[in-house]
Chain A
Amino acid sequence: MEELREMLFRLCRAPGTPGEEVSAAKTAAAELSGIAETRIDRMGNLTTQFGNLDAAEHVLLDAHLDQIGLIVTGIAKNGFLNVGRCGGIDARVLPGMAVTICGKETLCGVVCCMPPPLQEDGEKKVPPADEMAVDAGLSRTEAERLVRPGDRILFRTEPKRLLGTRVSAAGLDDRAGVAAFLRCAQILSGETLRCRVTLQFSAGEEIGGFGATTGAFSAEPAQAIAVDVSFASQPGVPEKNRGRLGGGPMIGIAPVLSRKITEALIRLAEERKMLFTREVMGGLTGTNSDTIATVGRGVPTGLISIPLRNMHTPAEVVDLNDIENTAQLIAAYLREVS
């Protein structure tokens, strides 16, 4: 579990906002060295293949590489950086947050927070993220030299080890999914499979999934499994139809998902007496599985989600056991495919 944690922390430390996933891709690629050859395609996806490369049955595995962040939209007169959302960032966690600005040099900044006496409604409201500014402590001249519109900004937090097997880090959505597949590749390395597997860490999920769409088209798989994160119970989020931290993989059940794959995953989890929950959704799933399922002539797709608290904040929390069990479940599935 310690190795898994350290790998996950390495993945979370690498910046990778939508459209700028290179650093995260290289970090994931380094984890695969010695297991499989990797390539980064023109859309920024990291892909690799393993299993029986001559097999007719071809499974695509997808987790998204990108994470939410902010993007510099301009530099104000006083040197403050105007920002926009890059993915669905939660404005409520931004005031007073330490951030890293990926400019010409890596800068340390703070999201501006107006003192309550100067703010209409005092402490009650937060402005929309697009109206916030980031303070890097720079003059306008310095800011213009070091930062350009389009530069990305990320939460500046170090991954933290919580009690037991729980950890907190920014970007666990979806580096937890990436870690699950990397762990799955480790488990299967040296084993003979009867299917060909394309592993894809896709770009741009947080802004619509351009990586998964194009990646799945290129791969032309016969079926696919996506791993993302989903809501675990926490204060304000009752357990009803939610996952539970440490409660095992959440197997997605939805009209857009392949019933056959879903049932196989449930059967395998039950056979192994593995903890798992069912996550039932009435239509789309809000993950890359929606896009992958409708690529080309259509791809039967399954979805497994890792339970996560505080999604889209710097304080995301997962349980490593859920990642390990997700990896074991997918490995068991791939051993059966022929």
Chain B
Amino acid sequence: MGRFELLQELCAAHGVSGREDAVREILLREIRPLADSVEITPLGNLIAFKKGGKRPKTRLMLDAHMDEVGLIITGVTEEGFLSFSTVGGIDRRVLPGKTVWIEGKLPGVIGVKPIHLLKEEEKLQSVPPEDLYLDIGACSREEAEEQVRLGDAAVFDSVFDLSHGMVKSRALDDRSGCALLVELMKDGLKYDTTFVFSVQEEVGSGGAGTAAFEVKPQAAIAVGCTAAADIAGVKRGREVCRLGDGPAVSFLDRQTVYDREYYHLTFEAAKSAGVKCQPKRAVAGGNGAGAIQLSRSGVRVAAVSLPCRYLHSPVGIIAQKDYKAAKKLLAVLAERIAETDTV
């Protein structure tokens, strides 16, 4: 299997929060031969334990989430259009004009009133999601209701492109984290490690929190994606992190104060792995680490994230070299954490 084939397969799978089944099936197939034990928790987290050559001094858990942002169908109009809500944080500006797949099989488009019929002042106003509807081609409420049930999930139609050293795709957040964890399991870590593929990160991290309760780790690394703003129109210094400068390491975000020692340890690990990494230069966002940290009597946490442009939009971009660097960095960091005593 080529380097990004698994990532491609994972990105192609649809897994809006609460509906991670298709992603979990792929991961189960991949990790069953690699793990010493596999467990699925009541909420659907996939937990894999893999023995290393040595027993760790600190019990470590790696977490990547299986779910992605998307849409949920909330109603059907008399004319057969579907109303929807977003699941997870989607910038309302990326919705109009996009094609989505409902329940993985039925295409629909998010329509907007044609530009020709807009008042001048409307032309540069984004459309509030409550004014947007999905068009599946139904001629009536009845025809639509034959195909769609309220609560059905939808994801953006997208691309998967590996040209010029990048990966462009939907759902890189956090299928790239899932793919990284599988790769680490394949290579095998020096110490016993638990790998968690969690559910519902985009709607409050109930998955990671309950998984941590089950696993009882002393330390955890959240492996994911974080928004890179190294894009047109953003001043130098405000980019948060930059593609190609290595994985981003968090010190503080909207949910978590990261373990100070682990934060510094991550940079040391990168150095000894011979790869670049960068601080996440903003207090923004959050991930499963927030819930993991508060599990039981508390867990020491770190976050290693791939810089991803246009996170939560139809097409994100990550750099292949950041992905490769993250894998090397995580292998060393996991070892450093596991080999050191903790309180």
* A interface with B by C-beta (< 8 Å): 76, 78, 80, 82, 88-93, 95-98, 107-108, 110, 112-118, 123-128, 132-133, 135-138, 142, 156-158, 160-164, 166-168, 231, 234-237, 245-246, 286, 309-315, 317
Contact = CB atoms under 8 A, between A and B. Distances in A.
B138 A234 contact: no
B158 interface: yes
Interface string B60-103: 00000000000000000101010000000001111011110000
Given A108-B168, A125-B126, A234 B113 contact: yes
B232 A90 contact: no
Contacts of B112: 90, 92-93, 236, 310, 313, 315
Ordered nearest first, which 7 A-B pairs have the shortest CB separation?
A162-B137, A93-B97, A166-B137, A96-B94, A133-B232, A96-B313, A315-B109
B171 interface: no
B309 A110 contact: yes
A310 B97 contact: yes
A276 to B, nearest CB: 17
A133 to B, nearest CB: 3
Task: Identify which of A88, A118, A136, A164 gathers the most chain B CB atoms within 10 Å of its CB.
Answer: A118
A133 B135 CA distance: 28
Task: Identify which of B114, B313, B314 gathers the most chain A CB atoms within 10 Å of its CB.
Answer: B114
A96 B315 contact: yes
Task: Identify which of B137, B157, B229 gathers the most chain A CB atoms within 10 Å of its CB.
Answer: B137
B99 to A, nearest CB: 6
B91 A113 contact: yes
B313 A95 contact: yes
B116 A88 contact: yes
Task: Identify which of A245, A313, A314 gathers the most chain B CB atoms within 10 Å of its CB.
Answer: A313
A167 B166 CA distance: 32
Contact of B135 (A82, A96, A112, A168): A168
Nearest to B227: A115
B28 interface: no
B164 interface: yes
B124 A317 contact: no
Contact of B125 (A126, A133, A163): A126
A128 B116 CA distance: 15
Contact of A126 (B113, B124, B227, B229): B124
Contacts of A234: 81, 111, 113, 133, 135
A311 B124 contact: no
Interface string B295-320: 00000000000000110011101000
B126 A126 contact: yes
A123 B93 CA distance: 6
Interface residues of B, number: 61
Contacts of B227: 115
Chain A, interface SS category: loop
B141 to A, nearest CB: 13
A207 to B, nearest CB: 15
B233 interface: yes
Contact of A118 (B97, B234, B309, B314): B234
Contact of A133 (B79, B96, B117, B233): B233
B159 A97 contact: no
A309 to B, nearest CB: 6
B54 to A, nearest CB: 40
Given A110-B168, A315-B111, A124 B117 contact: no
A95 B93 contact: yes
A27 B79 CA distance: 35
Contacts of A117: 284
B233 A112 contact: yes
Given A88-B115, A114-B233, A235-B77, 8 more contacts: A82-B232, A90-B114, A110-B313, A123-B93, A235-B133, A246-B139, A309-B111, A315-B111
B9 interface: no
Contacts of A157: 99, 157
A90 B127 CA distance: 12
B233 A142 contact: no
Contacts of B107: 160-162, 168
Nearest to A110: B315
Contacts of B99: 157, 160, 168, 314-315
